[in-house]
């Protein structure tokens, strides 16, 4: 579903939202805020409860677990999609490594999306079910 809006393309590329149609992606895009954060800003903290979802528009986000760097995210990468669903504890700390521009979806924004677009919930559940199924070992031949 390529569009003329690169931000909508980034949203559509998130696996959790892969089943959404163009109208639903556009609706979701309207719920997301663009924010600029400064170097060193902690976006998520390992072990803390969270619900925000982020897409990196510009800059780099350092991902740490147990105080050690495990990954770096850049333009087009995302984090926090599962926290939208369960508002559970964060599995890692995410820190802006230099100035970063993000798109942010809050838990309340996501809830608004689901309440105003009832078909979206079943699409997301199918994606999650597929991800769980893909994690299951296959039976030996």
CA 92 from centre of chain: 14
Using 50, 70 and 90 to split pLDDT, how confident is the model at 2? Answer: low
CATH topology of domain 6-131: Jelly Rolls (2.60.120)
* Mean pLDDT score across all residues of the chain: 89
Say if residue 40 is exposed, middle or buried (CB neighbours under 10 Å; 0-12, 13-18, 19+).
exposed
- The dihedrals phi and psi of 19, each to the nearest 5 degrees, come to -90, -5
pLDDT surpassing 70 at residue 1 = no
Tens digit of pLDDT for each residue in 50-86?
Answer: 889 999 999 999 999 999 999 999 998 999 888 888 8
pLDDT surpassing 70 at residue 101 = yes
Query: Would you list the domain boundaries of the chain?
Result: 6-131
């Amino acid at each position: 579903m390529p569009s003329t809006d690169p931000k909508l393309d980034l949203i559509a590329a998130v696996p959790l939202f892969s089943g959404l149609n163009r109208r639903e992606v556009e609706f979701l895009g309207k719920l997301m805020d663009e924010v600029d954060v400064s170097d060193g800003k902690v976006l998520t903290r390992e072990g803390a409860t969270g619900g925000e979802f982020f897409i990196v528009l510009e800059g780099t986000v350092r991902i740490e677990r147990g105080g050690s760097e495990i990954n770096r995210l850049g333009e087009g990468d995302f984090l926090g999609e599962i926290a939208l669903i369960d508002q559970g504890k964060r599995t890692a700390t995410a820190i802006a490594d230099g100035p970063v521009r993000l798109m942010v979806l809050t838990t309340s924004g996501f809830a608004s999306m689901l309440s105003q677009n009832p078909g979206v919930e079943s699409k997301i559940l199918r994606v999650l079910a597929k991800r769980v199924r893909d994690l299951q070992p296959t039976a030996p031949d």
